[in-house]
Chains A and B, each alone.
Chain A
């Protein structure tokens, strides 16, 4: 059989497509030719595959092998096709069963000694294979645990090319080879520790965190150093409920692509990303010329993206977040392709009120213009998308004494948040949205019939009339009011909830 076929997966962002790998053996001088838009690393498979095959003990025939990767128009990159190429070549040489080879998807990089090395992004690749109807997947043994996380996948982990060839019916002498160890599974991204009850004073801010967690609202916090902004932000992921299976799989897929391989178990806790303010736009949204890697915003999907010292971030970096905040996805455009990552994160911004941080006290050394310029670095369009804008003052002795030991713990908070989220989900049943923050304003006031009535919103209406807020701001206050009502367990927001929501929205406006 001079032509043999098998399958592999090409990843573009998080989307995988099945690639057919065909090998043809022709009576020509020896060589391996790879066609079908390979990149440099994939082109090198030519040499890697031949050496690996002969060192593994199943040499390729001394004839010309033409390997075609189709669809030819799809750009392919990386070393993950090595195993599929080697298997197709061996099958073309008549060493393996072509039927067996054709029904398996092969993923993995070959070392020169013929052992299989683990690759990044195995989870999204296996997911794509299963969705395309190929449930039998052969992966390097170091990736087998990760691949098994995909429901419905039948995973064959192999340590070397020889093992793979023997599995496909090749009559080779078995050899024992040590599997290449995978990198030890990364512990869950710096799981923010600490309990909400540890936050002393600042009961407004604690309530705002509960509201943010319940409604999925973005938060900004403005306050002097040491007021507890970072502490509050790191408590937010703990308040969020567990992810469902699909979300957890999506989060794990992104992390797998980013090179943080999940172990044999899905983490159901929402991710927490806190990039440093020297991060570039590419670090936040993702980038790379061939293999497009997800950035911090994509890694924070279904979790929390915390930007500490937000005004210190370059303005361009902050503004790239506007697209994902609006659409929930990030598109990265390259000359030959567009990669799309999910980015449904909850944004938490923290800022000092001025460069020295002591604005409002006698210690502040900043000129008023410096102060204004500092805060103006957070662009209006970005802040406009943040529902909760808090001022976090320094804790006073009285406030500390008042809440001493009496604060809400993370566990209690999570119960409240889950109940509030359930109420919102019940109300939004039959719509594409699940949290209050996702509701579009026009729908809220129009088709959704969720305007709480003019009695509850008298003060808010007056503020709108005076031109104190925009229509978008009005909608955002209504959404927060709904979340407050859900947290309180009432059927609809009353005047008090609306007032409180106005306090959270305009608290920052100076």
Chain B
């Protein structure tokens, strides 16, 4: 478990760097409320982007994106609304993105980014 948590943290770090490199600014990490957790919240121009990051060390158990299921996306939408209410921000547009980070032991990390998945 500890290994996976560490892997996840590392993946989220890489994802945040990836977003910054694409000109977005990360405004929140691991934001929690009683509904659950948002991995990353970033600002992309006028839009606020909620990002679900999935990290895997390999594709033996499937692609990381395959773990983002419709119920998971539905929870993301509820979390996004909760965040807007709690932070008092009234963004003109919001978006939900998914980032898959693959971290093989002996190869460089692979980051895939899907915009507006829900």
- Interface, chain A (partner B; CB < 8 A): 27-30, 62-63
Apart from A28-B117, A29-B117, what are 8 other A-B pairs with CB-CB below 8 Å?
A27-B115, A29-B66, A29-B68, A29-B114, A30-B65, A62-B65, A62-B66, A62-B100
CB-nearest residue of chain A to B118: A29
Q: Which residues of B contact A62 (CB under 8 A)?
A: 63, 65-66, 100
Interface membership of B41, Cβ < 8 A: no
Smallest beta-carbon distance B87→chain A, Å: 26
Assess whether B115 is in contact with A29, with CB atoms less than 8 Å apart. Answer: no
Return 17 A-B CB contacts under 8 Å, by A number: A27-B114, A27-B115, A28-B117, A29-B65, A29-B66, A29-B68, A29-B73, A29-B98, A29-B114, A29-B117, A30-B65, A30-B66, A62-B63, A62-B65, A62-B66, A62-B100, A63-B65
**Once the chains are docked, how many angstroms separate the CA of A30 from the CA of B117?**
10
Q: Which residues of B contact A27 (CB under 8 A)?
A: 114-115
Q: Which residues of B contact A29 (CB under 8 A)?
A: 65-66, 68, 73, 98, 114, 117
**Once the chains are docked, how many angstroms separate the CA of A63 from the CA of B68?**
12
**Once the chains are docked, how many angstroms separate the CA of A28 from the CA of B66?**
11
- Interface, chain B (partner A; CB < 8 A): 63, 65-66, 68, 73, 98, 100, 114-115, 117
Q: Which residues of B contact A63 (CB under 8 A)?
A: 65
Smallest beta-carbon distance A357→chain B, Å: 69
**Once the chains are docked, how many angstroms separate the CA of A27 from the CA of B68?**
14
Interface of B, helix, strand, loop or mixed by DSSP: mixed
Smallest beta-carbon distance A444→chain B, Å: 70
Nearest first, the 9 closest Cβ-Cβ pairs linking A and B are A62-B63, A30-B65, A62-B65, A30-B66, A29-B117, A29-B65, A29-B68, A27-B114, A28-B117
**Once the chains are docked, how many angstroms separate the CA of A28 from the CA of B117?**
6
Smallest beta-carbon distance B90→chain A, Å: 28
Smallest beta-carbon distance B80→chain A, Å: 16
Q: Which residues of A contact B114 (CB under 8 A)?
A: 27-29
In the complex, number of A-B residue pairs with CB atoms less than 8 Å apart:
19
Interface of A, helix, strand, loop or mixed by DSSP: loop
Smallest beta-carbon distance A60→chain B, Å: 10
Q: Which residues of A contact B115 (CB under 8 A)?
A: 27
Q: Which residues of A contact B68 (CB under 8 A)?
A: 29
CB-nearest residue of chain A to B112: A62
Q: Which residues of A contact B66 (CB under 8 A)?
A: 29-30, 62
Q: Which residues of B contact A28 (CB under 8 A)?
A: 114, 117
CB-nearest residue of chain B to A62: B63
**Once the chains are docked, how many angstroms separate the CA of A29 from the CA of B73?**
10
Smallest beta-carbon distance B70→chain A, Å: 9
**Once the chains are docked, how many angstroms separate the CA of A30 from the CA of B100?**
12
Q: Which residues of A contact B98 (CB under 8 A)?
A: 29
**Once the chains are docked, how many angstroms separate the CA of A205 from the CA of B97?**
84
**Once the chains are docked, how many angstroms separate the CA of A28 from the CA of B97?**
10
CB-nearest residue of chain B to A50: B66
Q: Which residues of A contact B117 (CB under 8 A)?
A: 28-29
Smallest beta-carbon distance A497→chain B, Å: 79
Q: Which residues of A contact B63 (CB under 8 A)?
A: 30, 62
Q: Which residues of B contact A30 (CB under 8 A)?
A: 63, 65-66
**Once the chains are docked, how many angstroms separate the CA of A28 from the CA of B68?**
11
**Once the chains are docked, how many angstroms separate the CA of A30 from the CA of B112?**
12
**Once the chains are docked, how many angstroms separate the CA of A29 from the CA of B70?**
10
**Once the chains are docked, how many angstroms separate the CA of A455 from the CA of B66?**
89
Smallest beta-carbon distance A144→chain B, Å: 34
CB-nearest residue of chain B to A27: B114
Smallest beta-carbon distance B59→chain A, Å: 8
Smallest beta-carbon distance A47→chain B, Å: 13
Smallest beta-carbon distance B56→chain A, Å: 11
Q: Which residues of A contact B65 (CB under 8 A)?
A: 29-30, 62-63
**Once the chains are docked, how many angstroms separate the CA of A169 from the CA of B100?**
30
**Once the chains are docked, how many angstroms separate the CA of A63 from the CA of B73?**
16
**Once the chains are docked, how many angstroms separate the CA of A62 from the CA of B63?**
7
Smallest beta-carbon distance B41→chain A, Å: 20
**Once the chains are docked, how many angstroms separate the CA of A27 from the CA of B117?**
8
Smallest beta-carbon distance B86→chain A, Å: 27
**Once the chains are docked, how many angstroms separate the CA of A30 from the CA of B63?**
9
Smallest beta-carbon distance A27→chain B, Å: 6
Smallest beta-carbon distance B117→chain A, Å: 5
CB-nearest residue of chain A to B114: A27
CB-nearest residue of chain B to A61: B63
Smallest beta-carbon distance B107→chain A, Å: 17
**Once the chains are docked, how many angstroms separate the CA of A27 from the CA of B112?**
10
Smallest beta-carbon distance A54→chain B, Å: 9
**Once the chains are docked, how many angstroms separate the CA of A62 from the CA of B66?**
7
CB-nearest residue of chain A to B98: A29
Smallest beta-carbon distance B22→chain A, Å: 15
Smallest beta-carbon distance A194→chain B, Å: 63
**Once the chains are docked, how many angstroms separate the CA of A62 from the CA of B100?**
11
CB-nearest residue of chain A to B113: A27
CB-nearest residue of chain A to B68: A29
Smallest beta-carbon distance B61→chain A, Å: 12
CB-nearest residue of chain A to B117: A29
CB-nearest residue of chain A to B70: A29
CB-nearest residue of chain B to A54: B62
**Once the chains are docked, how many angstroms separate the CA of A29 from the CA of B115?**
10
Scoring A27, A30, A63 by chain B CB atoms within 10 A of each residue's CB, the highest score goes to A30
Q: Which residues of A contact B100 (CB under 8 A)?
A: 62
**Once the chains are docked, how many angstroms separate the CA of A471 from the CA of B98?**
81
CB-nearest residue of chain A to B100: A62
